[in-house]
Each structure stands twice: as C-alpha cells, then as structure tokens.
C-alpha cells in the first residue's frame, strides 16, 4: 500500500485537488465546512504531503550543510568544532541547516559519500577527523558538491582548514623540555586509526623533533599507544608509572587522555604536577576550567572557519583562499611544573 497523495484526499473529501492544496497552504478561500471535510480526510488517511513535490513546485530551495565525522571518537572535541559550525551558520541571515551524518565504520563512509554525491542532498560537506580517498573526492567533485576538510594535513591538495599536528607535537614537547623535563612520555592513539587518520603519528613526529633539538634520546618505553579516550590512557599511564625510571612528564595527544593520565598519577599516590607533569592537546573549554596545561588548537574556531570557507566555495566558483588558523600555542596552567634536569 502506497502513501496517499493529495488526489486520494481529494477523492475521499469529494473535492478537487486544488481545494486540498488550498487547505494545506492555509489559503483563506475555502469554506469552513469544506475545509473540515478535507482535514478529516487528511487525518483518516494519515496523509503527509510530499516534501519533494512541494519544493519542486514552489521552486523552494533548502539549504543544507553536511557534517560528516567518525562519531564517538573524542566526541568533546567534535562537539566544540560543531559548535563553531553552528555559531558561524547562526550568524547568517538565511541560515543553512546542518545535516549530521553518522559514520561508525569505513564501509558506511563509502556508502554515505556515495549517497551524498548521488543525491546532492547537501550544498556542501564538512569532513571532520576523517580521511577520504581520492576516489571519494573524485565522486564529490564530479557531483559538484564542494567540501572542506577539518583537521587534515595542511599540505593536502584539497580544501581544508587545519593546524599542523607536527608543530603542535613539537610545541608541546619543547615546552616540557624548556621546563627542565628530559624523561618525557607520549601517550596517544594508535598511529593509524580505523579510519586511516594519523593525527597521533604526526604529533609524535613533532615530539621526536623537539627531543632531537634538545639532544634527548627518545626511549621506546616512553611511547605508549592504545585506543582513544580516557580509560585507555589511564591504563597506559598506569603502566608507565610502574617503570624503574618513570617519566617526569607525560604528553598526551588529547585532553581527555591527559585527564586519564592525571587520574593514573593520582591513583599511584603521586601528585600532578609536583611528581609528574601532564600536558594535553586540544584545549577543550573544560580544560580551562580544570586547570589543564595544554596545546590550544582553537577547535571551535576551526568549525567557524571551516563553514565560512565552505560557503565561499559554494557561492563563488573561483577558488577562494583557505582561511588561516591562528597559531597553536601551549596554554600554561596547573599541570606542568619546572624541574631541574637530572
């Protein structure tokens, strides 16, 4: 049984389809009784007008920005980016709506991109924390759907708003070195996550670079990788602290993981930062409130810049320039302390 159309309603209410259309659109030119009959028919049939048909007829164009991401991995940082997107969009007079795409696995990603390209369901696509293949990009290009990547390698050859993870890793570690630390551990996600994203690896590269600059030999035991998030980091840090020569400082690749480290330190009966310093990465809003020393990467702003750029791409055909993100900086707070290099 197919969905009822305006015609069915008309038939049932014993009126013409024009009349049905009129009551649907609150036209005043309908007699109360007729209107009632039509409304009843609508109710009985559970009729819902077809949006597509209305749009088509009305030459009505809906404005949608798609946001696609690997959900549930570091949801807080995603949320802050999303907030930026909403804020930027909210500032517009005729605002776009956001369509959130749920990606829980690589296979889904492919399917979604396919659908988006086929249907052109959105005017533009924001790709957050997600790697897409050349083929997928080609699909989008062919479908004429502009897209902007958030948190991709800066030097990538397609539109994106990014910060330099390598530099971020460098800054973090350099900050710790400058505060006298020499035994510095790195806690992060596995180098290649299930979506082919390499944020962790990039930050570690920067970490190594800083160590090299200070002539500090990196130690394999100080590199601890695992799943994203608080719990995994807590366990990794716990192991770390059991070593004969535990690190005096931990650089965690996200604020959530940094919190996990702090919990581990405290659970071991040690204090932050007196016994162990902890440095995070993200600068979530919450980190300001919890006194976490961390690398600020302007998450919310990245969302804002991302959409703005995307809107540029949607409006003009000519290549507009990607906006430049403000520089990464370490925000000194309460979880890092100077020590004398031993």
Which residue ranges make up the site for a copy of itself (CB under 8 A)?
A: 42, 46-56, 60, 62, 64, 71-72, 75-76, 79, 82-83, 86-87, 89-90, 95, 97-102, 104, 119-121, 144, 230, 256, 259-260, 263, 285-286, 289-290, 317
Distance separating alpha carbons of residues 70 and 187, to the nearest angstrom: 21
**In the complex, minimum distance from the CB of residue 2 to DNA, in angstroms, rounded to a whole number:** 6
Strand, helix or coil at 197? coil
Told to check if 90 binds DNA by CB under 7 A, we report no
Beta strands in the chain (DSSP E): 64-70, 97-103, 124-128, 147-150, 160-161, 184-189, 223-226, 249-252, 277-282, 294-296, 329-331
Cis amide leading into 96 (omega within 30): no
- Does position 49 interact with DNA (CB under 7 A)? The reply is yes
What does 29 interact with, of DNA, a copy of itself, none (CB < 5 to 8 A by kind)? Answer: DNA
Q: Helix, strand, or coil here: 60? A: coil
Cβ proximity of 260 and 44 under 8 Å: no
Q: Which residue lies nearer to a copy of itself by CB, 99 or 216?
A: 99
* Residue from the set 7, 43, 271, 315 that interacts with DNA by CB under 7 A: 7
Q: Which CB atom, from 106 or from 286, has the smaller least distance to a copy of itself?
A: 286
Query: Helix, strand, or coil here: 336?
Result: coil
User: What does each C-alpha distance from 74 to 129, 201, 256 come to in angstroms?
Assistant: 10, 16, 8
The strand pairing partners of 333, in sequence order, are none
Q: Is 28 in the site for DNA (CB under 7 A)?
A: yes
Nearer CB in complex with a copy of itself: 45/223 = 45
Looking at 194-242, which runs of residues are DSSP E strands? 223-226
Q: How far is the CB of 177 from a copy of itself (least distance, A)?
A: 27
Least distance from a copy of itself to the Cβ atom of residue 321, Å: 20
Strands 329-331 and 294-296: antiparallel
- With b for 16 or more beta-carbon neighbours within 10 A and e for fewer, the 306-318 pattern comes to bbbbbbbbbeeee
In angstroms, give the least distance from the CB of 17 to a copy of itself.
Answer: 16
Nearer to a copy of itself, 124 or 322 (CB): 124
The site partner of 102 among DNA, a copy of itself, none (C-beta below 5 to 8 Å per kind) is a copy of itself
Sorted by sequence, the CB contacts under 8 Å of residue 257 that are 6+ apart come out as 187, 188, 228, 229, 230, 232, 233, 280
Tokens read off for 67: 């946001």
Closer residue to a copy of itself, CB minimum distance, 79 or 331: 79
To a copy of itself, the closest distance from the beta carbon of 62 in angstroms equals: 7
Under the binding rule (CB under 7 A), the answer on residue 22 touching DNA is yes
Mask 58-77, x = binds DNA (CB under 7 A)?
Answer: xx------------------
Min dist. Cβ of residue 111 to a copy of itself (A): 10
Radius of gyration in angstroms for the set of CA atoms belonging to the chain, rounded to a whole number: 27
Q: Given candidates 26, 31, 157, 321, which one binds DNA under the rule CB under 7 A?
A: 31
Does residue 11 interact with DNA by CB under 7 A?
no
- Answer for the pair 319, 290: CB distance below 8 angstroms, yes or no: no
Please identify which residue in 40, 43, 54, 245 interacts with DNA, judged by CB under 7 A.
54
Neighbours of 93 (CB within 10 A): 4
- Chain residues that interact with DNA, rule: CB under 7 A: 2-3, 5-7, 14-22, 24-25, 28-31, 33-35, 47, 49-50, 53-54, 56-59
């Amino acid at each position: 049984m197919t969905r009822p159309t305006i015609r069915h309603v008309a038939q049932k209410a014993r009126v013409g389809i024009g009349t049905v259309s009129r009551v649907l659109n609150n036209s005043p030119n309908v007699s109360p009784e007729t209107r009632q009959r039509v409304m009843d028919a609508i109710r009985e049939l559970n009729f819902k007008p077809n949006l597509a048909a209305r749009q088509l007829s009305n030459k009505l164009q809906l404005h949608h920005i798609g946001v696609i991401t690997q959900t549930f991995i570091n949801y807080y940082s995603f949320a802050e980016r999303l907030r930026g997107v909403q804020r930027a969009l909210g500032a517009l007079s005729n605002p776009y709506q956001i369509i959130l795409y749920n990606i829980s696995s690589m296979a889904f990603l492919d399917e979604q991109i396919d659908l988006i390209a086929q249907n052109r369901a959105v005017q533009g696509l924001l790709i957050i924390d997600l790697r897409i293949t050349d083929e997928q990009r080609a699909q989008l290009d062919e479908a004429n759907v502009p897209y902007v990547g958030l948190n991709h390698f800066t030097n990538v050859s397609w539109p994106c708003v990014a910060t330099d993870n390598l530099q971020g890793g460098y800054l973090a570690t350099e900050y710790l070195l400058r505060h006298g630390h020499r035994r510095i551990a790195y806690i992060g996600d596995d180098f290649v996550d299930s979506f082919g994203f390499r944020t962790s690896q990039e930050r570690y590269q920067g970490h190594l670079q800083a160590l090299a600059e200070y002539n500090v030999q990196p130690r394999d035991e100080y590199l601890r990788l695992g799943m994203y998030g608080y719990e995994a980091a807590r366990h990794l840090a716990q192991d770390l602290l059991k070593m004969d020569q535990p690190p005096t400082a931990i650089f965690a690749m996200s604020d959530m993981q940094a919190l996990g480290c702090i919990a581990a330190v405290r659970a071991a009966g040690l204090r932050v930062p007196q016994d162990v310093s902890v440095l995070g990465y993200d600068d979530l809003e919450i980190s300001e409130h919890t006194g976490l020393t961390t690398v600020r990467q302007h998450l919310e702003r990245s969302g804002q810049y991302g959409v703005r750029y995307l809107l540029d791409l949607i409006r003009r055909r000519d290549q507009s320039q990607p906006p430049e993100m403000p520089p990464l900086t370490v925000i000194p707070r309460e979880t890092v302390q100077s020590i004398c290099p031993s």
